[in-house]
Amino acid sequence: MDTQENKPKIMEDLEKAGITNLRTLVMINWKGKEYRFVPRITITIDLEKKKKGIHMSRLIESIIETVEEETGERHSSIEELEKHILEHLKGKHTYKRGEIWMETELVVPRKTPVTRKQTMETHDVRIGVFNTNNDGDNGKYGKILEVKVIGNTVCPHAIDNWGKTHIQRAIGILEIRTDYDNEVELEDMIRCVEDSFSSEVYTLLKSEDEHWVVDRMFQNPKFVEDVTREILHHAKQRFKDCEIKARTISQESIHRHDVVAEGSGKV
């Protein structure tokens, strides 16, 4: 007996019902190279008022079957894998609105600025795909991509007034919401944020590289507001047909609290 199909005591449409905090191994083939991730996955669908519950195990089967049976060949990006899971789910469970999120990290190779040594930079990313207006036909797919990048701020007020200043780690977050087919690459988004700090940062820095970063920070003082505006500016130049959100959090070295600035735009 499928209790889920019963009429519920309280009849209310629910926007989302599903799974969260599921972690599993996924593989994609991006530009001819295989990448593996163990993302934290959230997948939800809507639930109409006359049914008591959704069939949770079908959501998990959609993830496992899409991930396992096709061994990474068919998915050229995390967002494509997510779209495949939502498509696969359509054969198992009716829904009008489906949504899937993966939170993971991207490791990007870089060269250090002076000694040109190899270094690896790791960034948190969050990728969501949603399927809407989904009545009988296949509906419309959209996506949200988010990157969270570490950098720094250098206080312009202090440097202007006293020649010296305070410096601190800052976190820049860029979110792009757009149609599924609009090509937006996470690495380009990361670049937009990196280029907006007083200086980009590196995992490895030999003494000459550190000198370069320190110089760059002092030449380039920025409030948290400046960093947010630069992220918006870079994203507007780089991407099209999308909604953009930017947010910067600066972990002040002269305070116990953080400062924050947020903005948005449309191109």
Site for a second copy in 201-240 (CB under 8 A): 201-207, 210-211, 213-215, 217-218, 223-226, 228-230, 232-233
Q: Are 144 and 177 in contact (CB under 8 A)?
A: yes
Q: Which of residues 100-129 bind a second copy (CB under 8 A)?
A: 105, 107, 117-122
**Residue 190 found at the interface with a second copy (CB under 8 A):** no
* Residues 40, 180, 184, 263, CA torsion sign: negative
Q: Which stretch binds a second copy (CB under 8 A): 21-29, 78-86, 136-144, 186-194?
A: 21-29
Helix 224-238 vs helix 186-194: crossing angle, to nearest 10: 140
Q: How far is the CB of 71 from a second copy (least distance, A)?
A: 13
d(CA 33, CA 76): 9
Neighbours of 99 (CB within 10 A): 22
Q: Which of residues 50-69 bind a second copy (CB under 8 A)?
A: 52-54, 56-57, 60-61, 64, 67-68
Q: How far is the CB of 233 from a second copy (least distance, A)?
A: 5
Q: Which of 38, 71, 133, 241 binds a second copy (CB under 8 A)?
A: 38
**Residue 195 found at the interface with a second copy (CB under 8 A):** no
Nearer of residues 120 and 136 to a second copy, judged by Cβ: 120
CA angle 41–46–52, rounded 5-degree value: 110
Q: Which stretch binds a second copy (CB under 8 A): 49-57, 73-81, 87-95, 178-186?
A: 49-57
Q: How many residues bind a second copy (CB under 8 A)?
A: 99
Nearer of residues 18 and 139 to a second copy, judged by Cβ: 18
183: its two tokens: 């090509």
d(CA 30, CA 88): 21
**Residue 183 found at the interface with a second copy (CB under 8 A):** no
Nearest to 174 by CA among 217, 132, 127: 127
HSE-CB at 70 with a 13 A cutoff on CA atoms is 20
**For residue 32, what is the DSSP state?**
T
Q: Are 40 and 104 in contact (CB under 8 A)?
A: yes
Q: Which of 13, 179, 187, 241 binds a second copy (CB under 8 A)?
A: 13
**Residue 181 found at the interface with a second copy (CB under 8 A):** no
Q: How far is the CB of 181 from a second copy (least distance, A)?
A: 28
Q: Which of 70, 80, 87, 258 binds a second copy (CB under 8 A)?
A: 258
Q: Are 178 and 243 in contact (CB under 8 A)?
A: yes
